[in-house]
Copies of this chain bind each other. A is one copy, B any other.
Amino acid sequence: MTSAIRDEAPAPEALRQMELFAGLPMEALTGVAAMARGRHLPRETRIFSQGDPGVRTHAVIAGGVRISQSGSDGAQIVVRFVGPGEMFGTVALFTDGRYPADAVTIAETFEASWSEADLRILMARYPQIAINMIRIIGTRLQEVQERVRELATQNAERRVAHAVLRLARQAGQAIGGGTAIAFPLRRKDMADIAGTTLHTASRILTGWTKQGLVASRNRRLIVLKPGDIQRIAEQANG
C-alpha cells in the first residue's frame, strides 16, 4: 500500500523548523516549498525500499518513519527512527542513486520530498542549504560511528540502555512520573536497534521492569529512572 491519503504542498513555516533550511530568508523557503512534494500516508506504509532507484530527499512533517536495512543474508537491523522535523533518504543523494534502506511509516505521517535535481538547483542558489546538509549528514555519521563503538565494545545490557536513552531523548514525552517513548516498539524493534536478539532484549527489559526502572503501557516504553539506566549505560562491562 503506497497510495497517499491526500497530497498537498507543505507550508513554508513547517520548513523553517527543519535543519536543512535553517538560516534561509523567507523568500527562499517559499521557493523550497514550491518544489516539494507533500504526501499524507497511513500507518505501516512503505515509502521506499532498499535498492529502489530515483532517489529523493525526504522529511517528516508529522508522524514517524522506521528506517531499516537488511543484508544479503537476511539479517536485519533498524537503522533509526525518524520523527517530525527530521530528514531521511539523504544518504544516497549524489551517490549511487539508490536507496540504501527501507522506510516504513510507524504512524499516520505527513512527509515532504524533493528530487535530487531540484535540490541541486536550490543548493546552487542558496549554498547555506548545502552546508546545512553537510552538517546533518556529518552529525549522523558521528552518531553511527558511536554506535559502531558501542557494538564493538559493550555488552548487550549496556547497548539496550543506550538505545533506550537515545529513543527517550529523541522521541520522549513527559507523562506522570516518567518519559514515554512516543511510538509503539516491539521487543523485536528494541533488539534490532540494540543489535541483539528479541530474547535477550526481553530478558533485559523485564529485568528492568521488575526493578522499577522502566514500564510498558500498550507497546510504549516508559522510562521511570533515567538516572539508573544512564548508570547501566556507562558502567564498565561486568
Contacts and interface: CB of A to CB of B under 8 A. Distances in A.
Contacts of A236: 73
For the residues of A in contact with B, the DSSP-based class is helix
A131 B94 CA distance: 7
Contacts of A71: 149, 153
A138 interface: yes
Counting every copy of the chain, the complex holds: 2
A14 interface: no
Nearest to A235: B73
A132 to B, nearest CB: 8
A178 B29 CA distance: 56
Given A91-B141, A95-B135, 7 more contacts: A75-B149, A91-B142, A93-B138, A130-B130, A141-B141, A152-B192, A152-B195
8 contacts: A72-B234, A75-B149, A92-B138, A95-B135, A123-B127, A124-B127, A144-B148, A151-B195
Interface of A: 69, 71-73, 75-77, 79, 90-95, 100-101, 120, 123-124, 127, 130-131, 133-135, 137-142, 144-145, 147-149, 151-154, 192, 195-196, 234, 236
